Every structure is written in C-alpha cells, then in structure tokens.
Amino acid sequence: MKKFKKLVMLLAVVGLIVAYMQSSESTKRYLKHIGKQVPSLPYRYFI
Amino acid sequence: MADYDVIVIGAGLGGLSTGALVSKEGFKTLVLEQSDIIGGCCSTFEANGYKFDVGASIVEVIQPLDRLFEMLGGRREDYMELIPCDPIYSFITDDGKRFSYPTDIGACTEVVKEIAPGDVEGWNSFCSMGLSMIEDMMDAVMLSPMNTFSEAMKVALKNPQIIKFAPTFLRSHQGVVRSFYKDPLMLQSVAFQSYFAGAPPELGSGIFGYIALSEHLGIYYPKGGMIGIPAGISKAGEEYGMEVRTGVKVEKLLIENGTAFGVRLEDGDEITAKIVVSNLNGQVTYLKLVGPDRLPDWAVKGIASYTNSMPCPMIYVGLDKKPELEAHHTIVTSSLESMNDVWNNYYKLNLIPETAMSLVCWPTEADPSLAPEGKHILNFLCNAPAPYAPIGDNWDRLKGWYKEAAVKELETYVLPDVRDHIEYIEVSTPLDFERRLLHPQGGIYGLFSDITSLAMFRPRSRSKAIRNLYLTGSSTHLGGGVPTTIASGIVTSKYIMKDHG
C-alpha cells in the first residue's frame, strides 16, 4: 500500500512536470509568476 | 477624550464610503484629503474652462453604489445623475478595422456574428456563464468581509452556488477568454480589459475575464464628471455629520502600544480618534504612516512583498471641434499577444513601449457641459504600462514624446486635422500620479492584482498589525476600480461596526 501511494505520488509529480513542459510559453510565465508569489502568501495572509 | 470617533485618511471612494456609513451609525467622523479635490483617482479637475477626469472614466457594475446609498438610507439617484453610455466601446484595430459593442447582449451577438462568426457559440456560453456568476457573486463575494480563510469559508458555505466558479479565480484572464474564443479579433476585444485591473491578459486574474461581460449590464458617466460619484457620497455622509477637510496631509499615525489613536499632520498638528481608517495605498499606510520600526517583522515582510500596479500616462485634450468618434470609449487595440508583449518585453525591462494601446474617452458626448459650448474633451489613457524609471530616459522628456504620440494617434484615428483644433493638452505622468494620488511609482490601480493578492491575500480591511487601524480602497479587499473600492468601503464599515458598534 505504501509503495502504491509512493507510485501514485511519483506519477502525479511526473504528470505535472509533463503538463508544465507542454504548456504554452504564456502559461509557463503565468505559473512562474504565481509560483514566485507563493512564499509571500503566509505573510500576506496576516497583514 | 479623542477629538473624533473616526479619522479617515484619504477622500477616495473607499474612504468616503466608509466615512459616510460610520457617520450614519453615529460616529463623529473626519475625512482628511491631501489634495484640494476629493475622489482620488475618481475625480475631475478644471483647466482652461474644460473639466477633465483624473483617471477613472466610467462606472460599471453599479450595484455596490446603489447598495451603499440604500445602507445610507437614501437613493443614489438623489445624489448623482448617471448617464448611460451606449455603445460600450468602439474598436479600432491596428489594421484599421472598426466595430462597436452595444450594451444590449442580443444586439452585441449580431456584431459578434459579423466580426467572428465562429465564436458566436463561445460568446453565448461566455454570457450564460458570466451572467450567472455576476448574479451569484455580487452580494456573496463583493460585499462580504473576506479577510480570513474562515470568513471566506463562511461565504462559500452560505452561498454554495459560487463554489463552481472557483476554477475561474485560479486561471488567468487570458486562460478564461481563450476557453470561449478562438478568433484573434474577438480575443483582443475581451482581453485588453485585464489592463483595467493593472495586469496583462496572461497574468491578470481570471475573474477579470468577465469584465467584458459585466460592461453589458450598463456603463455610466456621472453628470459633471467622475467627481460626481465621490461628491454624491460625500454629500450623503455630510448629512450625517461627516466632516471633510481638503488640502490636509497626514504625516504619521499616532500609535501607542500597538494601537492607533490619531494622526499627526504635516504642519505638526495632532488629531486624535478612537479609530483610524486609511484609504491610502497599503504600502504607504504601513511603511510611511506607521513606519517599519513600529511593525512586527512578519508585517513588514508581508506589505513589502506586494508589487505596485502599473503606471500609465494619461493625456488630457481640449478641442474646439467635435471628434469623429462613435462611443464614449474608443479602444485602439492590437492582438492579444502584443498586449502581453508590451508587458514582458518593454515594461518589465523598464523600456517605453512603442505602442500606447490607447483608450480614448470622449466624456463630452455624454455631458456637453464639461467643456465650453461647442467644444469637446478627449481623455487619452495609454493602456500600455509605462515604467516609472525608464532606462536612459526621464519623464520630463517623455511628457513631450507622449503628447506627440497621442496627437499622432488622434490624427490617424479620430480627427485628421486635430492639430489645428487643440486648445489645451497636458500629460499626467507616473510621477504626477504618484504626487497626486500618493500611489508609489504612480501605479494607478494600487497594489498589483492577481489571485495571490486579492481578498484574504490583500492587506486586511481590519489591520492585524495595528489595533484600531482599518484599511479601505484599492489596497484592500478586491482591488482597484470604482465598484470594488466602494465595495471595500462597505466591507470596512462592517468591520468597524462589528468591533465598535
């Protein structure tokens, strides 16, 4: 069961990477932009 | 004993709305405005007999405005006259094609059939999805406090019908419009509105993808100029005792033991109050009026993490001849790709864009009284962002360059002999907007708006860092825009009433 969970997780991560690689340059820029903001969210949430 | 119950810093739409609502509840309220005119970005100034709007050029989604006056026990119609503008836009594409979008959705469908027959089905789906979203979310999201996850959850549980719209928030503006349309012309006619929220189509929040539809609920111009809206709200507040002082600049917030208790003015005078409301940009409020030394580290990190929305120059033109236009708003636009290109390859690199992607506003079509008899006004908003600090250039030189660029565009698209008919022309640069509106770097839409900086991720209406400090306006709740800043004013007043009522 543990191995199965790990496999599912791995497949999900690989799937996300493949989806990212196949997305348009514009979508990549959007995801990068959002990704850059994520570390600030805990601070933003409390201000 | 405090001089006032509530001091509001800034007489923008958010500040005036909050001030008027708490005045109605019996709070002795003082609104302080550093400029000589109220309204902030939604205001009007006079020059050479012409009345020009500072920034905002129309109001759409008027439900928050109507709700505000209902809450004030009156009717909006008794305080301002809103003139419907139809068609919504007239478009001029870079290859010279012209078409207009009428307000009526049925009539607009006929236009879509002509310009992009393959996208009629997409247009119908866009309308059906968008109208149900606007109807379901108007009260539930726009006018509800959403500072925290628990408040957002409460809103969702109380209005489960809005949950299906959650993916829209996660997508970009471009992602939303591309899911309905394929035709490049159609796409550009619904994509440029992302710049109204200060972001390019590929970065703007998907929720703004529906601005192109909300406009079909009606766009309006206030008689006497955009200042008609803040003036109406101010009048309603003053009937409940709200006091408004203009030309008064606040230098610091008075704070003791983490609690705000008043303000110190530029001339050194101090005015005390139980509650302080700031309608200024969130970074100005926290980093200048409060000061980093009086904030916890997490608060400094939080507020410093925001970027400001884009600056863009505006050119005010007074003409002695009627312009050859068909609508209150004329958009000189280009492809969706070039809208993103302006951001990525110019603005982000601190370069001045080659295109202005202009929005030409013709307010004297709706209200001829704004100009001397027989004369007209054009407010030319460069919808393309311009860097605050352009590399190798400065705004003293660029002022002239923008003036000339605007005149050339007007010559090409609006009035071939425009040069012979200009009686007045002036440019408002990012530096001017910074001085006038106290928006850092002249970002006219306040803080940048995307999914990571809206609602609970935007500075809270009720400050967590400083007790008895509240924020209102474009830096909080749902960001910049006439309906959203009025909505923020309503939300902030709800917090004040909950805490102190």
Task: Give the closest of B452, B458, B459 to A37, CB-based.
Answer: B452
What integer pLDDT is reported at residue B286 of this predicted model?
Answer: 97
Closest CA relative to residue B489, chosen from B26, B3, B31, B4: B31
B465 contacts in chain A (CB < 8 Å): 46-47
Chain A: closest CA distance from residue B439 (Å): 19
Q: Any chain B CB within 8 A of the CB of A43?
A: yes
Task: Give the closest of B174, B305, B460 to A26, CB-based.
Answer: B174
pLDDT tens-digit series, residues A1-46: 788 888 888 998 898 888 888 888 989 999 999 999 999 999 999 9
Give CA angle at B20 (B143, B17), nearest 5°.
40
Distances from the Cα of B412 to the Cα of B90, B189, B417, angstroms = 15, 20, 9
pLDDT tens-digit series, residues B247-272: 999 999 999 999 999 999 999 999 99
Q: Any chain B CB within 8 A of the CB of A28?
A: no
Closest CA relative to residue B229, chosen from B80, B127, B104, B341: B80
Distance separating alpha carbons of residues B385 and B18, to the nearest angstrom? 31
Query: Is the confidence at residue B40, as pLDDT, over 80?
Result: yes
Task: Give the closest of A29, A44, A46 to B453, CB-based.
Answer: A44
Q: How much of chain B is in helix, strand and coil states, percent to nearest 5? A: 45, 20, 35
What integer pLDDT is reported at residue B356 of this predicted model?
Answer: 63
Residue pairs between chains A and B whose CB atoms are closer than 8 Å:
62
Tokens read off for B332? 């000189």
What integer pLDDT is reported at residue B108 of this predicted model?
Answer: 97
Helix, strand or coil for residue A15? helix
Q: How confident is the prediction for chain B on average, in pLDDT?
A: 93
Distance separating alpha carbons of residues B123 and B117, to the nearest angstrom? 10
- Going along chain B from its start, the domains and CATH numbers come out as 4-49+61-71+224-306+447-500 (3.50.50.60), 119-217 (no CATH), 310-437 (no CATH)
What integer pLDDT is reported at residue B66 of this predicted model?
Answer: 96
pLDDT tens-digit series, residues B353-381: 877 668 899 999 999 999 999 999 999 88
Strand-strand pairing, B270-278 and B469-471? parallel
Strand-strand pairing, B329-333 and B422-428? unpaired
Are the beta carbons of A47 and B286 separated by less than 8 Å?
yes
What integer pLDDT is reported at residue B228 of this predicted model?
Answer: 98
Residue of B nearest to A46 (CA): B464
Using CB atoms and an 8 Å cut-off, which of residues 458-497 of chain B contact chain A?
458-460, 463-465
Query: Is the confidence at residue B81, as pLDDT, over 80?
Result: yes
pLDDT tens-digit series, residues B377-411: 999 888 778 888 899 888 988 899 889 988 998 89
Task: Give the closest of B202, B298, B450 to A26, CB-based.
Answer: B202
Mutation to test the A interface, candidates B202, B287, B477, most A Cβ within 10 Å: B202
Percent of chain B with pLDDT over 70: 100
Are the beta carbons of A43 and B460 separated by less than 8 Å?
no
pLDDT-derived band of residue B168, with 50, 70 and 90 as boundaries?
Answer: confident
**Mean of the pLDDT values across residues B137-145?**
85
**Least confident interval from B118-127, B223-232, B308-317, B368-377:** B308-317
Give CA angle at B51 (B49, B55), nearest 5°.
150
Chain A: closest CA distance from residue B322 (Å): 41
pLDDT tens-digit series, residues B268-303: 999 999 999 999 999 999 999 999 999 999 999 999
Q: Are B310 and B445 in contact (CB under 8 A)?
A: yes
Amino acid (1-letter code) at residue B234: S
A26 contacts in chain B (CB < 8 Å): 174, 202, 340
Q: Any chain B CB within 8 A of the CB of A25?
A: no
pLDDT tens-digit series, residues B112-135: 999 999 999 999 999 999 888 888
What integer pLDDT is reported at residue B232 of this predicted model?
Answer: 98
**Mean of the pLDDT values across residues B95-103?**
91
Residue of B nearest to A25 (CA): B202
Q: Any chain A CB within 8 A of the CB of B158?
A: no
Are the beta carbons of A40 and B174 separated by less than 8 Å?
no
Q: Any chain A CB within 8 A of the CB of B74?
A: no
What integer pLDDT is reported at residue B140 of this predicted model?
Answer: 80
Residue of A nearest to B173 (CA): A30
Residue B367, C-beta contacts closer than 8 angstroms, at least 6 positions apart = B83, B221, B223, B224, B225
Mutation to test the B interface, candidates A23, A30, A31, A40, most B Cβ within 10 Å: A30
Query: Is the confidence at residue B482, as pLDDT, over 70?
Result: yes
Are the beta carbons of A27 and B175 separated by less than 8 Å?
yes
Task: Give the closest of A27, A37, A47 to B465, CB-based.
Answer: A47
Are the beta carbons of B453 and A29 separated by less than 8 Å?
no
What integer pLDDT is reported at residue B409 of this predicted model?
Answer: 87
Are the beta carbons of A34 and B451 separated by less than 8 Å?
yes
Are the beta carbons of B299 and A47 separated by less than 8 Å?
yes
Query: Is the confidence at residue B469, as pLDDT, over 70?
Result: yes
What integer pLDDT is reported at residue B357 of this predicted model?
Answer: 67
Q: Any chain A CB within 8 A of the CB of B451?
A: yes
Distance separating alpha carbons of residues B301 and B296, to the nearest angstrom? 9
Are the beta carbons of A47 and B459 separated by less than 8 Å?
yes
- B49 sits in the region (left: phi over 0; alpha: psi -120 to 50; else beta) called left
What is residue B172's DSSP assignment? B
Q: Any chain A CB within 8 A of the CB of B344?
A: yes
- Cross-strand pairs, B379: B316, B361
